[in-house]
Structure 1
Amino acid sequence: MRREGYYSVVNGYKDPFIDRGATARASDDRYVRDAKFSDMYALFEFDRSLRELTFHYLIRAESTAKTAVAYCFSDVHRDRDAYLLQDCYCTRDEYARAGMNAARYADEISGLVSILSKTRRNSNAEFIKHYRDEYGDVPLWVLSNGLTFGNIEHFFNLMKPDEKASVCKMIVQSTNRVGSNLGYLSVDKVRVALEALVKFRNICAHDERLYCAVVGGRKQINYGRMVWHLEWFLTDAEFNEYIASLVHRLKDGIDGNEKVAAVLEPLGFTELSNQLARRWGVN
């Protein structure tokens, strides 16, 4: 408790245990009957465990996406520093047809090119400095390792349509999904998945509450839906490993504290746990 901090646990995890009516009447926090600090701490520990597990596999998904985007762009645009040229990206009309806000097109292009240029010029990462100093050029497949997952999502959204389709195919190939029921990925599926995975990755990286997170605007992607987006970016072996650990964490969280179970059930965790256990036969 000395390490975690009483108020960080309470302020972060008290909401499900608050009596809304009594709190409104008292103008101060009032808790539901029989709520204990140990219940909040159990929810805190469950969420921390969930973050640690999820972040590990989101990093793998990030690597899959980075590799596919960098390779597919570089395979077409082979000139030096091609990623700094607006002509190498989609047109405004193509951007709009992909469901993006055309009014933001110019700002998105200039913003991406600025990020790429600054990373190329100023990064102190050894792998980028080596190419910059030795060759005066930093290929995208090198530069991409100095970019954030959000930068890669940004880059994908501005790629030409055929190159986006190539990224989807490469993700399928690199995860050994060819010929499986996950053997086809549409551009729209990848776009939505990247948006969700980037946001969930940032939640994990910044130690924010994961168990109740919902991202994606109108898509309303919670943790349970995120799992299936993540599957597309992992191999079968990686995903099965993730699911086995996830089922055990969900079971511990649900069975370990009845008040935590009551918090998680309406968020879909009980259903997710049962669904995963049935599909993978994990007990």
Structure 2
Amino acid sequence: METFASDDDYRFEDLLRDIRQSEAYNIWLLKRTLTSSELRAKEAVGVFWRPFSIIGGGRVGDSKPFRTVEQQIAILKSRGVSFRDEGYAASFLLRENYYAVVNGYKDALIDKQETNLAKEDRYARGTDFRHFELMYEFDKRLRDNTMALLLDCENLMKTAVVYSFCSIHQGQDDYLDPSCYCSKADFPKRGSYTKGLIRLLSTLQRLRDNGPHKAYISHYVSRYGCPPLWVLSKCLTFGSTSAFFDYQQQSVKNRTCVTLSQALGKGVVRQRDLAYAFHTLPEFRNICAHGERLYCARVGKLNDKGFGELLRALSYVAPADRLAEYSRSVLLLLDDVADESALIERKLLLGMGIARGDLQAR
């Protein structure tokens, strides 16, 4: 069995020594001395397993070679992509990243039959690099507009549930008391109740101890001893706020719905609709925050929630005027694309899983 240094002053030199003594390293080192044909022959009969490279982060032998932007353009041309201005395309790729632009949006442009025959990407007849630009720029602006609305909704939902909790549990540190949360019998996913509650309370305790090192938390700690939840809530992530709502007693959930309906000027906000929003919106917020592809994103444990479900969740918790403004902004983005390519607009709507009418009805 391999042994590794475990003393408190474990140094980088110790790490390198342990790597070099490991079986994985020695296999990797030996494989470097083999020709490609020798390597394939030995792997074919199971001489080598394929360990992860500690330095490179991928599997040994599976590395992707670096390509200059000129080579990237040449590869795209060889696969059926035309270019109106290669100089502009080169600067665009240098600004935005080849992987984000091409790999991120190629699925809608690929000729699947030709790709299967060629064993490498082949693009549909008539594909131009401008099509990549249109999809990439649309999605980038869509993320910006969506993020702005999601931040408003996050603040509304967080304010409502924290306000409702504090109005019922008025002790200064009641948010750290397990008895202030729902019982296991009342929790929908009983198998994960204990682990999830411990995680939530640990998060709140870390904020209570000013783990984020915020000046406003330090002020409350020094002056009052224990910062109230409405102060700490500024540091709660959308995901943690969702978990906080899930663990509330029924009285707090009911009051949260009433509080949110008052804030939105709606007649009623149903608990199941609010729960749906809490379980849907945080993942879309993370996609927007990290610059990931949004238009065809699928979230949820079953990856069954797309842009249509995002619109549904927003309709439950967004102010009516903000939702209408957002819907108009998405239609305008689609109009800009359609002015250049009706084909790309259709592909975007297909990926979003909606029709224009779904936005016009908001």
The alpha carbon displacement at 1:269 in A equals 6.0
CA contact (8 A) 2:261 2:269 kept: yes
Partner of 2:276: 192
C-alpha separation in 2, matches of 1:175 and 1:219: 30
Cα 1:83–1:43 change in 2 (3 A) is same
Partner of 1:89: 181
C-alpha separation in 2, matches of 1:36 and 1:70: 51
C-alpha separation in 1, matches of 2:237 and 2:349: 33
C-alpha separation in 2, matches of 1:49 and 1:256: 16
Local SS of the residue matching 1:14: helix
Instruction: Return 5+ residue gaps in structure 1 as ranges.
Output: 178-182
Instruction: Name the amino acid aligned to 2:277.
Output: A
Partner of 2:236: 147
The percentage of counterpart residues that share the same residue type is: 35
The alpha carbon displacement at 1:218 in A equals 5.2
Partner of 1:174: 263
The alpha carbon displacement at 1:200 in A equals 0.7
Alignment deviations for residues 78-112 of structure 1 (CA, whole Å, 9 cap, x no partner) = 1121111110100011103xxxx211000010000
Instruction: Name the amino acid aligned to 2:259.
Output: M
Local SS of the residue matching 2:187: helix
Cα 1:219–1:10 change in 2 (3 A) is closer
* 1:50-199 aligned within 5 A: 50-96=142-188, 101-121=189-209, 122-177=211-266, 183-199=267-283
Instruction: Name the amino acid aligned to 2:193.
Output: Y
The alpha carbon displacement at 1:268 in A equals 5.2
The alpha carbon displacement at 1:22 in A equals 2.1
Cα 1:267–1:14 change in 2 (3 A) is closer
Instruction: Name the amino acid aligned to 2:187.
Output: Y
Quick check: 68-77 or 124-133, which moved more?
A: 124-133
C-alpha separation in 2, matches of 1:217 and 1:135: 42
C-alpha separation in 2, matches of 1:268 and 1:208: 14
C-alpha separation in 2, matches of 1:46 and 1:276: 16
Among candidates 31, 39, 54, match of residue 123 of structure 2: 31
The alpha carbon displacement at 1:226 in A equals 1.3
CA contact (8 A) 1:123 1:129 kept: no
CA contact (8 A) 1:39 1:260 kept: yes
TM-score by length of 1: 0.89
Partner of 1:236: 320
The alpha carbon displacement at 1:229 in A equals 1.5
TM-score by length of 2: 0.70
Local SS of the residue matching 2:124: coil
Instruction: Name the amino acid aligned to 2:208.
Output: R
Partner of 2:359: 276
Structure with the higher helix share, 1 or 2: 1
Cα 1:269–1:46 change in 2 (3 A) is farther
Alignment deviations for residues 54-76 of structure 1 (CA, whole Å, 9 cap, x no partner) = 00000000000110111001111
The alpha carbon displacement at 1:219 in A equals 8.3
C-alpha separation in 1, matches of 2:107 and 2:250: 44
Partner of 2:114: 22
Greater C-alpha Rg? 2
Quick check: 121-130 or 71-80, which moved more?
A: 121-130
CA contact (8 A) 2:147 2:289 kept: yes
Partner of 1:180: none
Local SS of the residue matching 1:165: helix
Instruction: Name the amino acid aligned to 1:276.
Output: L
CA contact (8 A) 2:295 2:352 kept: no
The structure whose RCO (Cα within 8 Å, separation 6+) is larger is 1
Cα 1:154–1:270 change in 2 (3 A) is closer
Partner of 1:248: 332
- Runs of 4 or more consecutive aligned structure 1 residues displaced over 6 Å after TM superposition: none
CA contact (8 A) 2:111 2:124 kept: yes
Instruction: Name the amino acid aligned to 2:357.
Output: N
Local SS of the residue matching 2:96: coil
Asked if 1:208 is matched to 2:295, the reply is no
How many residue pairs were aligned? Answer: 269
Instruction: Name the amino acid aligned to 1:212.
Output: C
